[in-house]
Structure 1
Amino acid sequence: MFTRLRLMDFKSFKDTTFSLDAFTLLIGSNASGKSNVRDALRILHGVGRGYSVAEILGEKWAEGGVRVWTGVRGGARQAVRYGVEDHAFQIEADFTVPGTTETSKPTAMRYRLTLAVAGNTPEVVGEALEERGKYVFDTHPDGDGLGPGSAHRTIKVRMRSPSGRPPEQTFLTDRPLLTQMLEPGATSEQNREAARRAQQFLGAMRFLDLDPDAARRSSQRGITTLGDRGDNLSSVLAALSETVSAREVLTSWIRALTPMDAVDLRFEDDLNGNTLAVLIEGNGHETPLTSASDGTVRFLAMVAAMLHEATPRVLFFEELENGIHPHRVDLLLDLIETSVRASAAQVIATSHSPQLLEHGYHADDARPILIARTESGISTAWDVKQERSMTEVIDQDDLSDLMSDGWFEDIAALSGTTSAGEEDE
């Protein structure tokens, strides 16, 4: 689970740090910078997937012309905050990964990545990994690294060593060092194991921007991973239905969440091995997924994403409440809480919903973060629960009214251009 994120000179952020919880809600007006937080997490996800720096910021294509990765919006040149002279940005994340055994405690890690995009090819100019507060590797800690434009495009790295002087090694700058650490002979087995665990965590994130049209299509039996737009929904639901206990949980959510009187599911298979989910109502009427409403399909996709046994530990939803009737938002929150408890999943979402904000403000394991922009165009992150100027008013007023009136953005502007965690120039 992510516990802290720091963004320096990344897109609209100058230097902002904020904490995250099991359920983190990003609120704020349009164009405030919420999607820039998503882009920062996607960069970390690209590191976890083992891509090169150019691929992470741009695109990656597989054989046959299939695009398997879309980089950050605007590409490399738009990743750095406008006007930054060294054309570099930094993302630093604290997170916990599961212990190495079922009984061991989670391990706290910190990962820092600094990328420069001054030339035609973006490259690593700084990177570090810590495990339990002690470094695993760190680039040129004394400033003796080879920066952008060097002849060999390499960088010096200090490695963790059990004894003696920490050894220095040289790595290429075209790929994150976390990926290079996994190569045979690159470092000790202890360091490689730490890098592997960090990369697995980052690579397991999912970014879901659900599209009902994509989710309605039939999909190949045996596919158990929900696509970012909701692709493969029918086959994922079919996999969830294979065991009696999982099917009971699935159908209980279907009965609670769907706007129709659906009580069960069945699946139609064609000769090509594709399957299509069919909703069965209490009166026996059947509705194929291709005919279900947008809200029903989105709910089913959320159930599939949150309840599947292979659920990644971090799920990012764009506009979580989109297409969901206000009367069913409470049920959506129940689904999130169930997922967080049952599978140790972390849910991060952007939202404009007062009901979600109300929950995030009062729940112990939830955290609303206000993303706001100053007059100079700098995005800042405000921890709503920790800002006294906000809590004093929130505790005496109605959150829905405050949100609809734009009060959060106004109070952020009135409180100054520097949020908690942002440093002055």
Structure 2
Amino acid sequence: MAEARITAVHLTAFKSFVNEVLPLSDLTILTGLNSSGKSNALDGLDVLSRLATGGDLADVLDGRGQYGPGEVRGGSAGCPPHGTDTFELGCTVELGDEVFEYSVTVRVAPDLRIEREQLQGPARAEKSKKIRRRDLITATGEENAPGLDVRIHNGRRGVNPATFVRDNRSVLAQAPILVRTSSIAGREVLHGVDVVQSALQAVFEFDPVPIAMRDYVRRSDAALKRDGSNLSAAILNLQHTQPARAQKVVEAISTIAANQVTGVQFETTTRDEVMLSLTEHDGSRTSAREMSDGLLRFAAVATALQSTAQDLDVDADDDAVPLTPDSEPVTGKVRVVLEEIENGLHPSQARVALRMIEDAVTSSGLQVTVTTHSPALLNALTGELNDKVVVCYRDEEGHSRLSPLVELSGYAQAMAHGEIGDLVTRSELVAPTPERSVDLDAFLSAIGG
């Protein structure tokens, strides 16, 4: 089955970002000083994922109605850059050789509404059958208009006819009821919609809350939730469906626990509820109610990273069906997003966390994006993992900027004098240093080559 993946988030005008792009690979490690904008960048991905659900803007951004995760950090009013009333985001999504670009502009005052939306991607002309990049969907709205004018690619010459739709939810989600599947062009538009929606809905923003894990949960509530509250049921489910992965979770917990953990057991109630307990070398047990916050959080992270798409509470599965009869089913490649993975961990355990992340990417088939302040974790990076690090910093105007670590001016010379974490501790490699060279000659010179 084809897997759609997000390869970039376009932070065109969002919070502290203006005209910036966050590149995403299977593993992305985002680092930077406090208040540099790391969380804002991930909030942009979160907002896009929420909009793709098709829910009402007030529900998905401000946590009203039945939308599960609550409001996006800061709510809708916190999304525009300071002094403005609109924000603009987008993403690049790839499916094999196909590349799609999606963007959306949202006005938050005086009313919360979509102001502009666009989807671009490959499609063919009706007569020539030539495939090229086209505007598949273009939606615009005037300030006092009660909705959006939407133009959808129909494969013919000239301007596409306009359709009027509501502006309180994404056009992307409304497209299936607007497009004719009887035409080749219509099916190609819906394919593009399916690709982008699938990728965005497969984003798993994971924010484990230890206090929520200290109680019994229904055994059937097995797909790990975004706050980790059903950790006990999730680990039990993993034991049944993926025993080797469950064992890796136990081994990871044992590695970081001060007491010697030999296994896990589950206390049960008459209502088929379960609670995790750790078994120690002397036969004693420690239930979830007695575990430290740090240990519970780490157990939840380890479980998420050893899970597959079916084990996570995310809208991506192998049972996806195509939107049109002649297209292949598309599913989104799950991306686990986790802030400050080192929280609750002793610095000496940073290498354990990093190896868990690598294993998730190579064996679980997940994509992983994490932020970190940990010098110990950064020191644990070796070889090509340096290419996975993106540095967030503020420019002279106060805007947040992003740069791959290896493209920072001064990277080559700095790396000759220490490991990444040590350099960051000395306030090096936290922003560009124009006076330094990044070429290979500078690196060889610095190490005496």
Superposition TM-score, scaled by structure 2 size: 0.80
Deviation at 1:136, TM superposition (A): 6.0
Cα RMSD, aligned residues only: 2.7
For 1:112-127, list aligned pairs within 5 A.
112-127=103-118
Deviation at 1:365, TM superposition (A): 8.0
Range with greater deviation from structure 2 (194-203 or 255-264): 255-264
For 1:13-412, list aligned pairs within 5 A.
13-62=17-66, 68-84=68-84, 87-97=85-95, 105=96, 107-130=98-121, 134-135=133-134, 137-139=136-138, 145-150=140-145, 152-159=146-153, 161=155, 164-165=157-158, 167-170=160-163, 171-183=165-177, 185=179, 188-243=186-241, 244-309=243-308, 310=310, 311=312, 313-360=334-381, 362-364=383-385, 367-409=388-430, 411-412=431-432
Counterpart contact for 1:59–1:69, Cα < 8 Å: yes
Distance 2:284 2:416 in 1: 48
1:394-419 deviation digits (Å, cap 9, x = unpaired): 3333423321232334x44x549xxx
Q: What does residue 419 of structure 1 align with? A: none
* Identical amino acids, percent of aligned pairs: 24
Distance 1:167 1:265 in 2: 61
Superposition TM-score, scaled by structure 1 size: 0.84
The verdict on how the C-alpha distance between 1:376 and 1:167 changes in structure 2, with shifts beyond 3 A counting, is: closer
Structure 2 residues not aligned, in runs of 5+: 124-131, 315-333, 436-449
The verdict on how the C-alpha distance between 1:365 and 1:405 changes in structure 2, with shifts beyond 3 A counting, is: closer
Distance 1:90 1:57 in 2: 14
1:344-377 deviation digits (Å, cap 9, x = unpaired): 2111112101133235573348521221123432
Distance 2:28 2:359 in 1: 15
1:64-99 deviation digits (Å, cap 9, x = unpaired): xxx624233333333111234xx33221212335xx
Distance 1:18 1:184 in 2: 32
The verdict on how the C-alpha distance between 1:366 and 1:305 changes in structure 2, with shifts beyond 3 A counting, is: farther
The verdict on how the C-alpha distance between 1:399 and 1:36 changes in structure 2, with shifts beyond 3 A counting, is: same
Deviation at 1:388, TM superposition (A): 3.1
2:58 counterpart letter in structure 1: A
The verdict on how the C-alpha distance between 1:236 and 1:19 changes in structure 2, with shifts beyond 3 A counting, is: same
Q: What does residue 100 of structure 1 align with? A: none
Structure 1 residues not aligned, in runs of 5+: 98-104, 417-425
Give the number of the structure with larger relative contact order, counting CA–CA contacts within 8 Å between residues 6 or more apart.
1
The verdict on how the C-alpha distance between 1:157 and 1:257 changes in structure 2, with shifts beyond 3 A counting, is: farther
SS at match of 1:284: coil
Distance 1:106 1:262 in 2: 47
SS at match of 1:68: coil
Distance 2:80 2:250 in 1: 46
The verdict on how the C-alpha distance between 1:176 and 1:337 changes in structure 2, with shifts beyond 3 A counting, is: same
Deviation at 1:32, TM superposition (A): 1.5
The verdict on how the C-alpha distance between 1:395 and 1:149 changes in structure 2, with shifts beyond 3 A counting, is: farther
Counterpart contact for 2:375–2:420, Cα < 8 Å: yes
1:196-233 deviation digits (Å, cap 9, x = unpaired): 23212211211122222222322111112222222100
Counterpart contact for 2:93–2:195, Cα < 8 Å: no
SS at match of 2:117: strand
Counterpart contact for 1:135–1:160, Cα < 8 Å: no
SS at match of 1:334: helix
The verdict on how the C-alpha distance between 1:365 and 1:60 changes in structure 2, with shifts beyond 3 A counting, is: farther
Deviation at 1:333, TM superposition (A): 1.2
Distance 1:356 1:279 in 2: 26
The verdict on how the C-alpha distance between 1:298 and 1:356 changes in structure 2, with shifts beyond 3 A counting, is: same
Distance 2:411 2:196 in 1: 35
Deviation at 1:38, TM superposition (A): 1.7
Distance 1:361 1:110 in 2: 33
SS at match of 2:76: coil
2:92 counterpart letter in structure 1: D
